[in-house]
Amino acid sequence: MGCPHTCSFCDQRSISGSQRAPLPEQVREICSMAARDIKDKSETEIAFFGGSFTAIERGYMLSLLEAAKPFVGEGGFKGIRISTRPDCIDEEILSVLKGYGVTAVELGAQSMSDEVLALNERGHSSEDTRKASALIKSFGFELGLQMMTGLYGSTAELDNFTADEIIKLSPKTVRIYPTAVLEGTRLGELFKSGEYKPMEAEESAKLCAGLLKKFLDNGIKVIRLGLHASELVEGKLIAGTYHPAFRELCEGLIFRKEIEKALCGRSGKFLLQVPVGAQSKAAGHKKSNIEYFAAKGAHIKIKTLPELCGYNIKLSEEVD
């Protein structure tokens, strides 16, 4: 939608606006359909995502909000979520959003290293993210922050630094996007010229598993880890991290670490108890954790234990 920026990872120049911009009538139609189909709407939000919502043409932005507003509130949806850039937030726009029933604002922080932001041509600073976050919270909106890992010029240390800085801003939610290199982007050119070496898949999953745990330990919900599975991304992907079940991969690694700690190098037969619903995550992607420990002489059988939650486990030796 006429974004003047040229972020290194973004392929907006190769996407025609008309392909994706919804009309207010379509917003009404989608909201009506959802209102009909979703029984308990009190926990569901209407979201305007995939762009810098507050930076699009004002009349168009208001027409979309006007279309969504009647579906929010008493008996309707919980609220409206939008995503935008940290430098596209000020008091005036937040007052407008408030008046239209917006309840949550997410910022694409991407990195809290100014060097990484500059190298990836984001056009804003980490200070913009700090200031916008404080302003959003002072207006009573729910704050969400999005970060990327493995950007050009970044390292695992810098990505951990970004996560630590984000935690200091105490958002309610976080999204973590490992960098996917798409055809038609600046990153794609840098990758082809050999100037940018994307993070290896294994390192990326390990890093993101650590970040996921770090945010959760600090009481911050991670509402997305990895890009949504989409034909658009899959068709244009030339390098970087993209896996349709990326979160499961990371969660498997968290469980692997917990099991490793509990095993303390022991071998034999073990019963591993995990929270309800976590059996396949604990077993790892395609049972990789089971195989990993079996190769070390530890044979694990997994069962659930309702008292457990999160990534907590209980390991006991199995008696034949």
Query: Nearest-CA neighbor of 270 among 254, 281, 282?
Result: 282
Nearer to ligand SF4, 3 or 34 (CB): 3
The structure tokens listed for 38 are 């979703």
**Distance of alpha carbon 252 from alpha carbon 244, whole angstroms:** 14
Which one of 4-12, 198-206, 262-270, 303-311 is the stretch in contact with ligand SF4 (CB under 6 A)? 4-12
In angstroms, give the least distance from the CB of 6 to ligand SF4: 6
Tokens representing 128?
């913009």
Cβ distance to ligand SF4 smaller for residue 10 or 212: 10
Count of Cβ atoms closer than 10 Å to residue 263 Cβ: 18
Q: Which of residues 203-262 bind ligand SF4 (CB under 6 A)?
A: none
The two most distant CA atoms of the chain are separated, in Å, by 72
Within 31-90, which residues bind ligand SF4 (CB under 6 A)?
51-52, 85
Q: Does 7 bind ligand SF4 (CB under 6 A)?
A: yes
The nearest distance, CB 185 to ligand SF4, in angstroms, is: 9
Query: Which range binds ligand SF4 by CB under 6 A, 1-9, 67-75, 171-179, 305-313?
Result: 1-9
- As measured in angstroms, the least distance from the Cβ of 85 to ligand SF4 is 5
Strands (E), 150-296: 173-178, 180-182, 221-225, 237-240, 268-274
The residue range among 3-11, 22-30, 193-201, 259-267 that interacts with ligand SF4, by the rule CB under 6 A, is 3-11
Nearer to ligand SF4, 85 or 247 (CB): 85
Nearer to ligand SF4, 5 or 41 (CB): 5
Task: Report in angstroms how near the CB of residue 145 gets to ligand SF4 at its nearest.
Answer: 15
Please check whether residue 67 is in contact with residue 25, taking contact to mean a CB–CB distance below 8 angstroms.
yes
Are the beta carbons of 45 and 77 closer than 8 angstroms? yes
Q: How far apart are CA 50 and CA 53, in angstroms?
A: 8
Interface with ligand SF4: number of residues (CB under 6 A) = 9
Which residues make beta-bridge pairs with 176? 147, 225
Indicate the residue among 13 and 287 with the shorter CB distance to ligand SF4: 13
Strand locations in the chain, DSSP E? Answer: 45-48, 79-84, 102-110, 142-149, 173-178, 180-182, 221-225, 237-240, 268-274, 298-304, 314-317
Q: Which is nearer to ligand SF4, 51 or 284 (CB)?
A: 51
**Residue among 52 and 103 whose Cβ is closer to ligand SF4:** 52
User: Rule CB under 6 A: which residues touch ligand SF4?
Assistant: 3, 5-7, 10, 12, 51-52, 85
